[in-house]
């Protein structure tokens, strides 16, 4: 009899535990669906205080993750293991994500702050009508350099990187499009070239740059330049601004042969679990004061015309980081070259890196 009673009691306890676990799971699911969003962004690409401000104003908690390349971001979203609600890819990645049905259309009626964006940055070729993407930051690829370590040398041309006096002084950003594109531009070719002969020529020329290359790295490039462990870096304009904020000796230029004009936009992946929360986050980031604070913190150029009015005129008037429309017209935007051609760029970049290890 006692055994029967003990067995019955155990069943009651187990049932109670299972009921409680199901109750917790249901609550957790409800929270992740309406009370939180997952934001997937580049490293050091938002003022953390703004995440807290968004959470306080909306009651929506933000789960924040970072990526280091468009390719890794797209792969993770395509695999669908994590349900991201907002991400910030570059223009050519947005085109590719559209082709692969990885994006949800954006409801502009839920983003009234879209009116703050400079019309120059709207309705661009990679997303006509901004059906799937909203401007976040923009900038250029150029050369950050420290004249005090280089006896006053400047960099008006990509070919200046090949100066023999720069042995082990040049850092390159670890990205195939930027480095192969720099090689193409140095030869007068388009950085969107799909001509295999031009790409071979650019790669062979890059190999001759090897003796001057100190490292090919990611975000660490900023610290190395700040600490004067290298004198020159091919990098993005925002990283250059970050270096210059700490080390005033550093300068930045966009070579005369041309370079990349890039745009990073906010998108909502097709796997998003909280679409309404995603719209609220995008609209929040487009608020003029929020955009100005974010641009001050991150260092990249803001497309937010109303936000720019609130920023230091010395910053927004600096044509190295806010080039005029005429200057921008001389630069090229990356095109989506297709999976096969991107594979060619990656293979050539790997070939260049392996050649440096010889």
| Each residue's pLDDT tens digit, 70-121 | 888 999 998 887 889 999 999 989 999 999 999 999 999 999 999 999 999 9
Number of domains in the chain: 2
Is 79 a member of any domain? yes
- What pLDDT is stored for residue 23 in this prediction? 37
- Exposure letters 165-195 (e unless 16+ CB within 10 A, then b): ebeebbbbbbbbbbbbbbbbbbeebebbbee
Co-location of 78 and 227 in the same domain: no
Distance, CA of 6 to chain centre: 61
Co-location of 167 and 309 in the same domain: no
> Mean pLDDT, to the nearest integer, of 321-349?
90
Co-location of 163 and 191 in the same domain: yes
Co-location of 170 and 251 in the same domain: yes
Is 220 a member of any domain? yes
Co-location of 235 and 201 in the same domain: yes
Is 23 a member of any domain? no
Q: Is the pLDDT of residue 5 over 70?
A: no
Q: What is the pLDDT of residues 231-248, one digit of tens each?
A: 999 999 988 988 988 899
In the chain, the percentage of residues whose pLDDT exceeds 90 is: 74
Co-location of 40 and 133 in the same domain: yes
Co-location of 201 and 345 in the same domain: yes
Q: Is the pLDDT of residue 253 over 80?
A: yes
Co-location of 89 and 124 in the same domain: yes
Co-location of 270 and 302 in the same domain: yes
Is 15 a member of any domain? no
Q: Is the pLDDT of residue 7 over 80?
A: no
Containing H/E element for 316?
helix 313-316
- What pLDDT is stored for residue 207 in this prediction? 97
Q: Give pTM, 2 decimals.
A: 0.79
Read off the CATH number of the domain in which 92 is found. Answer: 3.40.190.10
Q: Is the pLDDT of residue 30 over 90?
A: no
Helices 176-186, 338-356: crossing angle, 10 deg rounding: 80
Is 67 a member of any domain? yes
- What pLDDT is stored for residue 25 in this prediction? 38
Confidence of residue 268 (pLDDT cuts 50, 70, 90): very high
- Exposure letters 333-349 (e unless 16+ CB within 10 A, then b): bbbbbeeebbebbeebb
Confidence of residue 34 (pLDDT cuts 50, 70, 90): low
Co-location of 220 and 339 in the same domain: yes
Mean pLDDT of the chain: 89
* Cα gap 317→152, rounded to integer Å: 24
Is 236 a member of any domain? yes
Is 21 a member of any domain? no
Co-location of 131 and 144 in the same domain: no
Binding-site residue positions for spermidine: 44, 92
Co-location of 339 and 248 in the same domain: yes
Is 225 a member of any domain? yes
Domain that holds residue 40: 36-137+263-322
């Amino acid at each position: 009899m006692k055994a029967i009673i003990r067995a019955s009691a155990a069943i009651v306890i187990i049932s109670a535990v299972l009921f409680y676990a199901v109750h917790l799971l249901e609550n957790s699911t409800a929270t992740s669906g309406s009370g939180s969003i997952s934001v997937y962004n580049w490293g050091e690409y938002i003022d953390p205080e703004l995440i807290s401000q968004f959470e306080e104003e909306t009651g929506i908690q933000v789960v924040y993750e970072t990526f280091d390349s468009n390719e890794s971001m797209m792969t993770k979203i395509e695999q669908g293991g994590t349900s991201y609600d907002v991400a910030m890819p570059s223009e050519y990645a947005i085109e590719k994500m559209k082709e692969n049905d990885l994006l949800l259309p954006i409801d502009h009626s839920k983003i009234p702050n879209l009116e703050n964006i400079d019309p120059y940055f709207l309705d661009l070729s990679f997303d006509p009508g901004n059906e799937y993407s909203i401007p976040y930051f923009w900038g250029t690829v150029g050369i950050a350099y420290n004249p005090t370590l280089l006896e006053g040398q400047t960099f008006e041309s990509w070919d200046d990187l090949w100066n023999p006096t720069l042995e082990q002084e040049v850092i390159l950003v670890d990205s195939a499009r930027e480095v192969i594109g720099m090689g193409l531009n140095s030869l007068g070719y388009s950085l969107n070239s799909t001509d295999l002969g031009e790409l071979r020529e650019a790669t062979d020329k890059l190999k001759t740059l090897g003796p001057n290359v100190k490292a090919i790295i990611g975000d660490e490039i900023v610290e190395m330049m700040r600490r004067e462990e290298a004198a020159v870096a091919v990098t993005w304009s925002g990283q250059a601004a970050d270096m210059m904020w700490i080390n005033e000796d550093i300068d930045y230029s966009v070579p005369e042969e041309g370079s990349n004009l890039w745009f990073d936009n906010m998108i909502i992946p097709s796997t998003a679990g909280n679409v309404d929360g995603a719209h609220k986050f995008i609209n929040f980031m487009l608020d003029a004061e929020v955009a100005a604070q974010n641009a001050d913190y991150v260092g990249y150029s803001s497309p937010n015309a109303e936000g720019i009015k609130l920023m230091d005129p010395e910053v927004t008037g600096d044509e190295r980081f806010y080039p005029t429309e005429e200057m921008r017209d001389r630069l090229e935007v990356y095109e989506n070259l297709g999976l096969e051609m991107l594979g060619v760029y990656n293979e050539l970049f790997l070939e260049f890196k392996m050649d440096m290890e010889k």
